[in-house]
Each structure stands twice: as C-alpha cells, then as structure tokens.
Amino acid sequence: MFLRKALICLLCPLWLAPATAGTAWPERHVTMVVPFPAGTSPDLMARIVGEPLARALGQPVVIENKPGAGGNIGTARVARAEPDGYTILFTINGPLTTAPTLYKNLGYEPFTDLAPVTLVATSPNVLVVAPGLGAGTVKDLVALARAKPAALNYGSVGAGSASQLAMEMFKSEARIDLVHVPYAGFPAATAAIVSGQIQAAFMVPGIAMPQVKSGKIKALAVTTLERAAALPGIPTMAEQGYPEFEAISWQAILAPARAPKPILERLNAELLKIIAAAETRAKMTTLYFEPAGTTPEALASLMKKEQARWGKVIRALKLQVD
C-alpha cells in the first residue's frame, strides 16, 4: 500500500502539469506583433502569412500593429512577452540589426531576448535618381558627383534608416560626396526627387517602381548581389563596378526567448510550408519580395552578419539615438 501511494504521488505532477512542451499548443489565438503601422510592407506581408498560419494552427492569428521608434517599441513588446508561443514578432531587419548600435537605450537585445523562427522574404533596395539629372547608370551618377562635390543631394527616411545607411556605404565605396536630406517618410522623399529637390535615393521597390514605371524617376540599380527575380531588368550594383555592395531588406518571424522548443519547431515547420506555397509566393512577388523560408539557425546567422556590417557603418558616421 505504501509503495502504491508513493507511485501515485510521483505520477500526479505529470498528470496535472500544463502542456509546457507545446503538445497542446495553441489552445487560443496567437498574436503576431508588427512593429510598424497598418498598410506598410511588413504589415501587408504579415497578413499574407498570418491567414494560412491560422488555418494550419487551427486558431486565429491576430495582427497587432505596435509602431514607434523605428520598430523598437513593438519589438520590445515581444521581447518582454510570456514565452508561451502566443505572442510572436513579424519584423523587418532594422530592429534586429541596426538598432542595437544606433540606439543608446534599446530596451531589448535581439540575440538574448528573442528566438529566431524563420526568414520570411528578402527584397532589394533600388537606387533611383531624378530623370533630369542625366544619369543613366551608376557610373554616370558617380562621375556627376565627383565633378561637383557636395552639389548633389540625396534623400532618406531619417538618420540611421536603411535608406541613409545604404547611401553612406555607397558614398564610401565610390568616394563621392552627396548631401543628406532626411524626410519623414518615403512619400515625402519620393515627392522631393520627382520635383528635383534631391537627386538620388535608395528606396524600397514598392515605393520606387510605380514612379519608375510612370517615368517620374529613373532606376539605376538594385542592391542584391544577383538580379532580383521581381526586377530582372534592373542591373545590380555589383554589375556596375561595386562587387561587394549589398543592402537587402528582409522580413522575419521571431518569438520571445525561452519559448518551448516544440512550439518553435512547429512554427518553423508550418511557416516553411506556407512560404513555399504557390499562392503565398505569388502574393509576395507582387510586393517585390523574394520568398525565403529558413531554419532558425540561418536567420540567426544573417542577423549576426548584418549587425556587424551595419554597425560598422553607423559607428563610422557617429550616429546615435537616445
């Protein structure tokens, strides 16, 4: 009798324990935090994967837009969330790669507070110029800039933004001097280049290409090492004399650190199937994104590589945000 009671006492904790290993997950809706406003490319891409993910999990996936501080507010929200698989992050590269060097008080650390799940998609940036500038190639732009140092302006969407960092890296490699003019967003920067107030910019394809197709601005290059599948007619920076130049935009899904491994593995497996689906790929391509889908380890490796590269640029510019 004593042995029977002792055995029951040992087994009871196993019967009563919650499914912390993720076997019963999810039992309710999953919140996917997007640290940018509704209608932006990360929001649109999150909705592309969120709907099929809900079907795969058998529970709703609720998109929560939490913008502010270049994506850092929403990212910090996920970093501080319970690591139970019910709050995940859909973000672009900035909060994971440039923010740790750029911001003095970030409020989270990407490699210790977040767990990579998968890289979702990548996209080039596009080097564009005002059509009246008379530059048909990157070589032309460099020649004009060298002929008149500090006479040409370039636009960005703010100090430390990907659009500024890409141009500063280009300036360094090309040994040219362009004057930085920051704007509150891509619409304002686009209007400035169309009107001739600025002469060049690196822009995301979703903003740039409608203006390129209408003839209001001219595309000189994409910033992927190989031609972008969605923009096959635009040569790369590498093709035009800058073989190491790469400045991609990418989007990824992460979870709070210490989330149960079975949940992370389930999320990765379901997302890889979703990203590989023809319907998903077609929707992403219309937004000029190349579908990816990777292991968590591959995403972590990309984060480390990008953080080192852009950290070097930020430190060289002596940029810092409180």
| Domain stops at, among 190, 214, 240 | 240
pLDDT at 18: 39
For residues 134 and 116, membership in a common domain is answered with: no
Q: Do 100 and 148 belong to one domain?
A: no
pLDDT over threshold 90, residue 322? no
At residue 21, does pLDDT exceed 90? no
In eight-state DSSP terms, residue 203 is E
Whether 306 maps to a domain, the answer reads yes
In whole angstroms, give the CA distance from residue 125 to residue 290: 12
pLDDT above 70: residue 12: no
User: Is the CB of residue 268 less than 8 Å from the CB of residue 295?
Assistant: yes
Structure-model confidence comparison of residues 23 and 151, the more confident one? 151
20 within a domain of the structure (yes/no): no
What percent of the chain shows pLDDT beyond 90? 82
> Domain for residue 4, yes or no?
no
Same domain, 119 and 257: yes
Question: Do 165 and 235 sit in the same domain of this protein?
Answer: yes
Task: Answer yes or no: do 151 and 287 share one domain.
Answer: no
The residue segments making up the domain with residue 37 are 28-123+248-317
Q: Cβ contacts of residue 143 below 8 Å, gap of 6+?
A: none
In this structure, the answer to whether residues 130 and 233 fall within a common structural domain is: yes
Q: Is the pLDDT of residue 14 over 50?
A: no
Dihedrals φ, ψ of 251, to 5°? -130, 145
Confidence of residue 173 (pLDDT cuts 50, 70, 90): very high
Say yes or no to pLDDT of 321 above 90. Answer: no
pTM, two decimal places: 0.87
CA-closest candidate to residue 57, choices 28, 77, 96, 37: 28
What is the C-alpha separation between 102 and 117, in angstroms, rounded? 24
- CATH number of the domain residue 70 falls in: 3.40.190.150
257 is written with which tokens? 């650190």
217, 240, 263 — which closes off a domain?
240
User: Which tens digit of pLDDT belongs to each residue from 52-109?
Assistant: 999 999 999 999 999 998 899 999 999 999 999 999 999 999 999 999 999 988 999 9
Q: What is the pLDDT of residue 22?
A: 42
pLDDT of residue 23: 56
Alpha carbon 297 to chain centroid, angstroms: 17
**Shared-domain flag, residues 79 and 98:** yes
262 and 116 in a common domain: yes
* 135 and 209 fall within a common domain: yes
Residues 136 and 159 in one domain: yes
18 belongs to a structural domain: no
Q: Is pLDDT at 9 greater than 80 in this prediction?
A: no
131-162 pLDDT, tens per residue?
A: 999 999 999 999 999 999 999 999 998 888 89
Number of domains in the chain: 2
227 and 179 inside one domain: yes
CA nearest 234: which of 223, 246, 242?
A: 223
| Residue 197 counted as domain residue | yes
Same domain, 80 and 222: no
Tell me the CA distances in angstroms from 106 to 72, 97, 301, 310, one per residue in order: 7, 12, 21, 16
CATH code of 224's domain: 3.40.190.10
Q: Tell me the pLDDT band of 187, cut-offs 50, 70 and 90.
A: confident
Instruction: Look at residue 322 and tell me if it is in a domain.
Output: no
* pLDDT above 50 (res 169): yes
Is 67 a member of any domain? yes
Contacts of 93 (CB under 8 A, 6+ apart): 162, 248, 249, 250, 251, 252, 303, 306
189-202 per-position pLDDT tens digit: 999 999 999 999 99
Q: How high is the pLDDT of residue 184?
A: 83
For residue 266, is it within any domain? yes
Q: Of 207, 240, 273, which residue is a domain's last?
A: 240
